[in-house]
Each structure stands twice: as C-alpha cells, then as structure tokens.
Amino acid sequence: MSDLKKLSSDDLETISDNFGEILEREVSRVISTKELEDIDLNITINYDNNQLDVDVDLGVSFDELSSINQDLLLEAIDNAYLKFDSYIDDNFRV
C-alpha cells in the first residue's frame, strides 16, 4: 500500500465530511428512517507523521417501538470503515 499524500486542513475537513456521509448511508441501510429518531456523529481525525487515525462516536436514538438489533448497527459501522478505507486509497494515496 502506498503512503498518504501530505494532507492539508482542507483535506482533513473533506475526509471528515465524507466519512460522515458514508457512515450515515450505511446506518440508513440497516435502520428504517421510520425507526430512527436522531443520529449524532462526532468524528475525530488525528493526522500525525503521515498517519491518519479516524474515530467516530455514533449516537443513535430509535423509535420506542423499534426492533433494531445492535449487531446490525455495528455491522453498518464496520462497512462504513471499509468503504472509507477505499475512499482514502482512491483519493489520498500517492
């Protein structure tokens, strides 16, 4: 795998925004909008010595009648990280 290009603050903002969009799409695949009351994303990006570390804190509020399985939500997060890795490889590797 090739190295990351030198990332600017604009790149980091774009990365954060795009990861948020990827994560929201993946969550919406496993949770019906009828069951989802609120989604709160807190994405933390650390970029040091050409190493990119992205952490997400995801808060999801469900309808009280929802039967959402926590495992499905965790699977959506895992899928989002996989798609995010591909996005980084396609756009920010030299």
The residues spanned by each domain of the chain are 9-89
pLDDT at 23: 92
- The overall pTM is greater than 0.85: no
CB atoms within 10 A of CB 15: 21
pLDDT at 1: 61
Candidate CATH numbers 3.40.50.300, 3.30.300.100, 2.30.110.10, 3.40.190.10; the one for domain 9-89: 3.30.300.100
Of 35, 59, 56, nearest to 46 by C-alpha is 56
Mean pLDDT of all residues belonging to the chain: 87
For 8-24, how does the pLDDT look when each residue is reduced to its tens digit (9 = 90+)? 999 999 999 999 999 98
CB atoms within 10 A of CB 32: 12
pLDDT at 17: 94
